[in-house]
Amino acid sequence: MKITKLTNSITLKRQLESGNEAQLKTVRQVLQDVRENGDQAVRKYSEMWDGFVLEDFRVSQFEIEEALNNFDPQLKKDLEEAAENIRYYHKAQKREDYKLPLADGSWLAQRIIPLDAVGLYVPGGSAAYPSSVLMNVIPAQVAGVRRIVITSPAGKDGKLPPAVLVAASILGVTEIYKVGGAQAIAALAYGTESIAPVDKITGPGNIYVALAKREVFGEVAIDMIAGPSEICVLADDTAYADEVAADLLSQAEHDPLACSVLITTSESLAEEVAEQVENQLNTLPREAIARQSIVNFGQIYIAENMKQAVEAVNSLAPEHLEIMTEKAQDVANEIRHAGAIFLGRYSSEPVGDYFAGTNHVLPTNSTAKFASGLNVDDFIKKSSVVYYSEKTWKENAPKIARLARMEGLEGHARAVESRGWEKGE
Amino acid sequence: MKITKLTNSITLKRQLESGNEAQLKTVRQVLQDVRENGDQAVRKYSEMWDGFVLEDFRVSQFEIEEALNNFDPQLKKDLEEAAENIRYYHKAQKREDYKLPLADGSWLAQRIIPLDAVGLYVPGGSAAYPSSVLMNVIPAQVAGVRRIVITSPAGKDGKLPPAVLVAASILGVTEIYKVGGAQAIAALAYGTESIAPVDKITGPGNIYVALAKREVFGEVAIDMIAGPSEICVLADDTAYADEVAADLLSQAEHDPLACSVLITTSESLAEEVAEQVENQLNTLPREAIARQSIVNFGQIYIAENMKQAVEAVNSLAPEHLEIMTEKAQDVANEIRHAGAIFLGRYSSEPVGDYFAGTNHVLPTNSTAKFASGLNVDDFIKKSSVVYYSEKTWKENAPKIARLARMEGLEGHARAVESRGWEKGE
């Protein structure tokens, strides 16, 4: 890894894949086709791109039971415990309505209402990510969403990965469709004969899925478009180089575009970590991916002091931040921008990816400056309620009418003034 | 207004202006130019489009005092009282961090952190909207945002409307720029020599501003792209036709694309409201605009019963909903989708536009199904924090490593397992 002296503010930003014209054209065509022709169009594109004919999109109870029966019981228990931890953390995010009394019997309120229906896209391909099922579904369930749908492209055998079905089953989600790609996003957004539409679509996908999500945004809500993963380790000379290196590599192995950064006040740690990264890379199964990431985007910065290091972290606004320093909690209190923070030697980042309870869907590419990880608020919306009594109205109507007239909106003023005429009461 | 029997679910959706290729090209050019040439480019476009030369973009203390000195003291008092009400309502939205203890000294936390800097765009043109200043700035202040910037195109006289300056001054906002259009959005997003960048941009604007906001989205956060205003009145035979009509017109006068809908169980009310709308239109200063809106998008629906009426409201998901029925609060409890709800005869919608305390920046075009009005949460973000003790790590590392390996991420498993080797401690 390159080692540099920290001077200016630093940035993680990479040019993200935004799709080309041809891809966008394809996606728009799929969206329109599914909107107009429903199931028939979904079937057509599944056959064309995923290579199998779907009679029934929906995963059967039999398929779910088959997956459960053949699944490693220990892994199932691990998933269940992770789900419990995630539920515990997210339950604390649940909010209540509030009602504020005003004078004369009037009041204002805010109501918290869960979305009616949400859809989670789970990408297909070689690997299965049951942890993503937990991380997306549980906040929606805690929010009180009644209908939660999962959709994912089936493999060549026409089946979904057992781990995904088991994770869904643990959570009680049974509306699962074997549909992928832009056609899945279209079906969720517009609905078809066999798939009712949802109000929000979450979950990652390939470039076609990402483009489709952008296109349907407005019609339905979407989560953020996640970029490649990032980790920043902030360490002093109390940290262990082999542990820091292992954590940097845990993100590098995700994606050639992943970004792993160490910021440290210790020159010797910097050198040892660089050496350890090289050593550990050699035996990593995903060495090729991790090496590309480390070579292109890996970086070690040596800071003059912890204050400078902290400022650099704030300018990075990394997705994941590990703090392995003396008085880690004091240092953490100075951090304003990071998606998720891991404190101390024993809070290795994968602890949060799988198990601790916090969410692993996090803001990337410096968007932690203004965005948050997935949470219960992403699955609710708020309505305000105003109740004015006659007395409150009478007292305030002249003020409201003046303000409306100042803005040139006479109709507004008249509406407020229209009350209270005697009407034979 | 057209009167129809309510049969199926109904919709408010209108085709919104999305900008043409030429507009988008212009906007992209402005954004790039400002990004590269800063103040010089901002100055160039202000001269070109707003018709004045800006030496100094920033509004001076002298200009603010001049506005304050010449402003109607009664109106200033009205604005101050409105600000106080808005602050009272939004303060209840402020959230605290939480920290959840786990076994063995471990814990999880969620931190709430305000954005560093936000920019509010205030449109220029003939009218001034000080109420928008209050509605955008106060939630940001309650959230704890340290730097709040306002930008707005100056008039031909090189000045901003006094009402906008007075509203800003009441709130203590003094960083105000006389810049409008796409160049203002560019300056806020990228920064220039004289305008430091912000993390989020809110506020409405013309099509160039809207396109520019969409383009910089991702680089910074933006609020929703608001559509034309909507009101839905849900009424039974206890409502007064003249009041309902006045409220319908208060939204119709905003925009030819505004949408005013009455859903009622009373046929006689339907007919009286139609008549009243016609009568009241004749004397409305903004008659031309309101008439276009009523003719094209106004609609009265007669429902068979309140249950059917409520379902229709939920399918509309209107921006504003007034409930003028018996037991209005019971009816309101059945509403799942509405940006803001106004209960009873005395809670005319403009009460909320200006004064009651709730926010008037609300989700339009049926997006109340998944979106909320502007609120304090729009100006904060959340970070999760994980602290695992050695004991918690030791107990859970094998589970986490198993889950990681199930997903094919050996590097994750190794990172978690890398701890706890003896290192001469």
CA distance linking residue B121 with residue A398, whole number of Å = 29
Q: Choose the closest CB to A250 out of B368, B396, B411.
A: B411
pLDDT at B421: 60
Mind listing the pLDDT tens digit for each residue in B76-112?
A: 999 999 999 999 999 999 999 999 999 999 999 999 9
A355 interfacial to chain B (CB closer than 8 Å)? yes
pLDDT at B17: 66
Q: Is B58 exposed, middle or buried (0-12, 13-18, 19+ CB in 10 A)?
A: middle
CA distance linking residue A9 with residue B182, whole number of Å = 27
Which tokens hold the place of B168?
Answer: 């800003």
Sign of CA dihedral A36, A40, A42, A48: negative
Q: Is the pLDDT of residue A10 over 90?
A: no
Residue of B nearest to A164 (CA): B407
Residue A103 neighbours by CB distance under 10 Å: 10
- List A177's β-bridge partners, or say none: A58, A151
Kindly state the average pLDDT of the residues B252-260: 93
pLDDT at B51: 78
A170-209 residues touching B, CB cutoff 8 A: 199-200
CB contact under 8 A, B371 and A381: yes
Q: Is the pLDDT of residue A210 over 60?
A: yes
Kindly state the average pLDDT of the residues A209-237: 91
Binding-site members of A for Zn(2+) are 251, 254, 353, 412
B346 interfacial to chain A (CB closer than 8 Å)? yes
pLDDT at B70: 94
A90 is an active site residue: no
Q: Is the pLDDT of residue A422 over 60?
A: no
CB contact under 8 A, B384 and A358: yes
B337 is an active site residue: no
- All residues at 6 or more sequence positions from A125 whose CB lies less than 8 Å from its CB, including other chains: none
Per-residue burial over A340-366, b = 16 or more CB atoms within 10 Å of its CB, e = otherwise: bbbbbbbbbbbbbbbbbbbbbbbbbbb
Rounded to the nearest 5°, which phi and psi values hold at A57?
A: -70, -30
CA distance linking residue A282 with residue A297, whole number of Å = 18
With tokens 């990880």, the residue in question is A373
Q: What is the dihedral of CA A13, A135, A140, A62, to 10 degrees?
A: 130
For residue A252, give how far its alpha carbon lies from the nearest alpha carbon of chain B (Å).
9
Q: Which tops the pLDDT comparison, A322 or B126?
A: A322
For residue A224, give how far its alpha carbon lies from the nearest alpha carbon of chain B (Å).
9
Q: What is the DSSP string of A237-287?
A: TTS-HHHHHHHHHHHHTT-TT-EEEEEES-HHHHHHHHHHHHHHHTT-TTH
Q: Which tops the pLDDT comparison, B8 or A385?
A: A385
Q: What is the dihedral of CA B214, B218, B221, B227, to 10 degrees?
A: 20
A389 interfacial to chain B (CB closer than 8 Å)? yes
B80, amino acid identity: E
Give me the helix-helix angle, B73-91 and A390-406, nearest 10°: 120
B103 interfacial to chain A (CB closer than 8 Å)? no
pLDDT at B20: 81
Type and span of the H or E element at A45? helix A39-45
Per-residue burial over A309-324, b = 16 or more CB atoms within 10 Å of its CB, e = otherwise: bbbbbbebbbbbbbbb
CB of A373 within 8 A of CB of A226?
A: no
Q: Is the pLDDT of residue A424 over 60?
A: no
- Output the CA–CA distances (angstroms, integers) from residue A217 to A23, A108, A186, A307, B122, in the order listed: 17, 31, 11, 41, 25
User: Residue B169, SS3?
Assistant: helix
Residue A102 neighbours by CB distance under 10 Å: 19
CA distance linking residue B336 with residue B318, whole number of Å = 11
A120-179 residues touching B, CB cutoff 8 A: 126-131, 163
In whole angstroms, what separates CA B331 from the centre of its chain?
Answer: 26
Q: Is the pLDDT of residue A51 over 90?
A: no
Q: Is the pLDDT of residue B422 over 70?
A: no
CB contact under 8 A, A344 and B388: yes
Domains of chain A listed by start with CATH number: 3-12+227-356 (3.40.50.1980), 21-93+106-222 (3.40.50.1980), 388-425 (no CATH)
Sign of CA dihedral A88, A89, A90, A94: positive
Q: Choose the closest CB to B390 out of A75, A346, A357.
A: A346
For residue B43, give how far its alpha carbon lies from the nearest alpha carbon of chain A (Å).
28
With cut-offs at 50, 70 and 90, classify the pLDDT of residue B16: low
Residues in chain B within 8 Å Cβ distance of A341? 111, 383-386
- Among residues A25, A16, A413, which one has the least CA distance to residue A225? A16
Rounded to the nearest 5°, which phi and psi values hold at A264?
A: -140, 150
Q: Using alpha carbons only, what angle is made at residue B278 by residues B274 and B280, rounded to the nearest 5 degrees?
A: 115
Q: Is the pLDDT of residue B244 over 90?
A: yes
CA distance linking residue B136 with residue B124, whole number of Å = 16
Spell out the SS3 assignment of B241-288: HHHHHHHHHHHHCCCCCCEEEEEECCHHHHHHHHHHHHHHHCCCCCHH
CB contact under 8 A, B404 and A354: yes
Mind listing the pLDDT tens digit for each residue in B43-55?
A: 999 888 877 777 8
Which tokens hold the place of B111?
Answer: 């931190």
- Output the CA–CA distances (angstroms, integers) from residue A77 to A82, A122, B414, in the order listed: 9, 21, 21
B15, B358, B381, B405, best to mutate vs chain A, most A CBs in 10 Å: B381
CB of A221 within 8 A of CB of A199?
A: yes
- Output the CA–CA distances (angstroms, integers) from residue A3 to A261, A270, A275, B295, in the order listed: 10, 7, 11, 68
User: Residue A117, SS3?
Assistant: strand
pLDDT at B52: 75
Residue of B nearest to A100 (CA): B89
Rounded to the nearest 5°, which phi and psi values hold at B118?
A: -130, 150
Count how many pairs of residues, chain A against chain B, have C-beta atoms within 8 Å: 353
pLDDT at A11: 75
Which tokens hold the place of B245?
Answer: 């009509």
Taking all residues of chain B, what is their mean pLDDT, rounded to a whole number? 94
CA distance linking residue A315 with residue B374, whole number of Å = 27
CA distance linking residue A335 with residue A20, whole number of Å = 37
pLDDT at A126: 67
B128, amino acid identity: A
Mind listing the pLDDT tens digit for each residue in A249-294?
A: 999 999 999 999 999 999 999 999 999 999 999 999 999 999 999 9
A292 interfacial to chain B (CB closer than 8 Å)? no
With cut-offs at 50, 70 and 90, classify the pLDDT of residue A337: very high
A158, amino acid identity: G
Candidate list B243, B320, B322, B360, residue with the active-site label: B320
With cut-offs at 50, 70 and 90, classify the pLDDT of residue B8: confident
CA distance linking residue A55 with residue A228, whole number of Å = 35
CA distance linking residue A303 with residue A266, whole number of Å = 8
> Tell me, what's the ipTM?
0.95
Mind listing the pLDDT tens digit for each residue in A129-186?
A: 899 999 999 999 999 999 999 999 988 888 899 999 999 999 999 999 999 999 999 9
CA distance linking residue B122 with residue A262, whole number of Å = 42
Sign of CA dihedral A242, A343, A315, A221: positive
CB of B345 within 8 A of CB of B324?
A: yes
B260 interfacial to chain A (CB closer than 8 Å)? no
A401, amino acid identity: A
CA distance linking residue B131 with residue A208, whole number of Å = 42
Mind listing the pLDDT tens digit for each residue in B350-403?
A: 999 999 999 999 999 999 999 999 999 999 999 999 999 999 999 999 999 999
With cut-offs at 50, 70 and 90, classify the pLDDT of residue B128: confident
CB contact under 8 A, A370 and B411: no
Q: Choose the closest CB to A403 out of B110, B131, B240.
A: B131
A166, A414, A417, best to mutate vs chain B, most B CBs in 10 Å: A414
- Output the CA–CA distances (angstroms, integers) from residue A53 to A29, A101, A126, A421, B149, in the order listed: 20, 60, 20, 68, 56
A419 interfacial to chain B (CB closer than 8 Å)? yes
DSSP A378: G
Kindly state the average pLDDT of the residues B230-251: 97
pLDDT at A55: 80
Q: What is the DSSP string of A284-351?
A: -TTHHHHHHHHHHH-EEEE-SSHHHHHHHHHHH--SEEEEESTTHHHHHHT----SEEEESTT--THH
pLDDT at A205: 87
CA distance linking residue A374 with residue A43, whole number of Å = 31
- All residues at 6 or more sequence positions from A102 whose CB lies less than 8 Å from its CB, including other chains: A108, A392
pLDDT at B420: 74
Q: What is the DSSP string of A393-405?
A: HHHHHHHHHHHHH
Binding-site members of B for substrate are 229, 251, 254, 320, 353, 407, 412
Rounded to the nearest 5°, which phi and psi values hold at B201?
A: -120, 125
Sign of CA dihedral A418, A424, B5, B8: positive
Mind listing the pLDDT tens digit for each residue in B291-343?
A: 999 999 999 999 999 999 999 999 999 999 999 999 999 999 999 999 999 99
A41, amino acid identity: A
